[in-house]
Every structure is written in C-alpha cells, then in structure tokens.
Structure 1
Amino acid sequence: MSSTELVPASGTASQAAARVDGRQFLTFRIGGEEYGLDILRVQEIRSYEAPTRVAHAPPFVKGVVNLRGVIVPILDLRIRLSQPSEYNGFTVVIVLNVAGRVVGIVVDSVSDVLELAASEIKPRPEVPAAIDSRFMTGLCKIGERMLILLDIEAMIKSPDFGLVD
C-alpha cells in the first residue's frame, strides 16, 4: 500500500505570519462536490486497498486495515454522504487523527492544500443537504469552485458513525 506522509510546509516569515491568521485545509472530491478538512487532523494519504471486512458493520464501514501495528477502521465517506462511486486509481484513503482515534475515510480524490483566511470562510447554510449542517464549518469560494468545509471531528464523534462512545 503506497502512502504519502504529510509534512509541515516551511516558508518565509511572511508566510508563517499569514498562517497565524489563516488555516490550512486538505481539499478532496466526493462526486461533483469539493470538500475541505483541517490539515492538522490528517496523518497521511494512502491509495485505496480493499480492507478486511467486519461482520455486521454498516455499509459505509468498509472494514479495517493494519497500519503499522494499529487497526484502523475504514469508512467510505462517499456512501455516508449518499454519493456511491466506483473504486479506481484516484480513490484514496485519508488517514485522520480525530477524537483520540485513527480513522481512514475513503474519498474520490485529493485535490490540494489551501490556506484560507478567516475572512474568506462564509457561515454554513441552514438548508437541507446530503451532509448535516452541524458537520459543516462553513463555505468558501475559490475561483469558480465552491468548497464545503467539514468539521470532521464532529462528524466522526457523531452517533451516526458509531465509533466513539
């Protein structure tokens, strides 16, 4: 299984000062939508490899993998968001550290890392959507793209996922 370790970006003093005001987000795609999550939650990005199935798990729990001695549940966020997709060469697993656990989420593809100032992030809408608005921290327009920012920790802690007591 190949993986990409994320390392903090180094930069100039002005870039470091900008990072104090802004936050960095890993962006990814599910279906036709683009999402972002706090880069500080990301441990690594791995190519998708079929995990070991777990009996009686909900459909979005694809199974578990052994990641350097740690058993990691793999959740297909696409299924959870009612966006079933095929598994192809772009399908990846984002390994996260959230709620005191290591969890992998399956997404269609990873785009890039964006730094966003607080002023660029618009409040979350209170409209019915595939994703519960309590799991959204806001929206951001990047050129012609609309980025949905997720509170991945709240999502994983949610009773809907059944991973945290």
Structure 2
Amino acid sequence: MDTAAPEKPALKTLDPHSTATASLDRYLSFSLGQEDYAIPLLAVREVIAVPEVTPIPFTPPYFLGIMNLRGQVISVLDLRQKFNIKPQASSETAVIICDLSPLSLGVVVDSINSVLAPNPADVAPKPEIQSSKSSDYVTGVVKKDDRLILLLDIARCLSSEDQAALNKTVQKKSA
C-alpha cells in the first residue's frame, strides 16, 4: 500500500500576453520603495492593514511568518525584502491577499496605488535582462504617464523550495 502524500499541484501562474488571459487586463498597482509594480486583479482576493504576524523559525528573511485571516492560516511574504528594496516609512503599508490555488499568500507592500486597465499598446513585453532572477517573475511593463510599472506574476516570485515550505507550513498550522 502506497502511503506517500499526494503531490501538491503547482501554483497558478498568469501570462498577460496569452490568449487565455487576454480578458485579464486589469491590475492592482502598488509601490515598493520608489518603484511601482502591478499584479493581475483576478489574483487579488482582498487588501488589508498589516496584521499581527507569527514568525516561523528557519525561514528566509522575506517570509515574515503566518497570520490568521478569519480562521484561514496565510503565509506572509515581504516583497521589499525579497526584491532587496528599502521599505518606505508609511502609514499606507498594506497586505495584498493573493489567491494562488491551492493556497493564499499575503504580500506586504508600501502602498496601494490604483487599479489599472492599460491599453494593449501601453503594455510592453518584459525587458531582456541577462541572467537576472527577477526576469522570471516580471511578465511585462506598463507605460503610464511618465512612469514604468512592472507587471509581476506573484506565483513565480516563489521558488519551488519556497512553495514547498509554504505548503508544509500551512498544512502543519491547519492540522
């Protein structure tokens, strides 16, 4: 009898340039330090104030810990630390709760800016960055006024080791 645990499905990733996601043309824009980023609005469940977070030992510094959101245990990631960006001192710091089936993830950002619905002409493909890890999770660039907003795929921000650690943490705390 095989008692091995069933394999967890990979987190969903979204490609804003594929025909399957052509209708996903709205993004939640936010700031990390002086830079602007955006994620697909369909990946966002809600935005909340920064809650009390319980640290988890032996995790990377960008994993702040876990939080309880109405009975659901959610891991919290600080994108500023992940991207090596100095945090802004702001009362606008928020947590974006992202739905990344099969789990949810809280992402700490400096501020929420707006919901974007860019014209396709304003969306450029991701920049070609030689051997940069960041190019894996940058899916495009939106030109808005005099700013460039990087489009992110939150699921790709997590390495496979990060995803495995998240799954284990959530399973242990939910049990």
Tell me which interval the TM-score lies in, with the shorter structure as reference length: 0.7 to 0.9
The residue type equivalent to 2:54 in the other structure is T
Q: Deviations over 1:3-60 (max 9, x none)?
A: xxxxxxxxxxxxxxxxx75600000000111001000000110111330111112111
When the two structures are aligned, how many residues end up with a matched partner? 145
| Partner Cα distance (2:46, 2:65) in 1 | 18
TM-score by length of structure 2 reads 0.75
Instruction: Please state how far the C-alpha of 1:76 moved relative to its aligned partner.
Output: 0.4
In structure 2, the CA distance between the partners of 1:143 and 1:75, relative to structure 1 (3 Å rule), is: same
> Could you say which structure has the higher strand fraction?
1
Alignment pair present for 1:141 and 2:117: no
In structure 2, the CA distance between the partners of 1:86 and 1:57, relative to structure 1 (3 Å rule), is: farther
The residue type equivalent to 1:161 in the other structure is D
Corresponding residue number in structure 1 for 2:27: 25
1:1-165 matched pairs, under 5 angstroms: 23-85=25-87, 88-127=90-129, 132-156=134-158, 158-159=159-160, 161-162=162-163, 163=166
TM-score by length of structure 1 reads 0.79
Aligned-residue sequence identity (percent) comes to: 30
Q: Deviations over 1:105-130 (max 9, x none)?
A: 00110000010233321011112597
Tell me the C-alpha RMSD between the 2 structures.
2.2
Q: Which runs of 5+ in 2 are unaligned?
A: 1-21, 169-175
Aligned residues of 2:24 and 2:42 also touching (Cα < 8 A): no
Q: Which runs of 5+ in 1 are unaligned?
A: 1-19
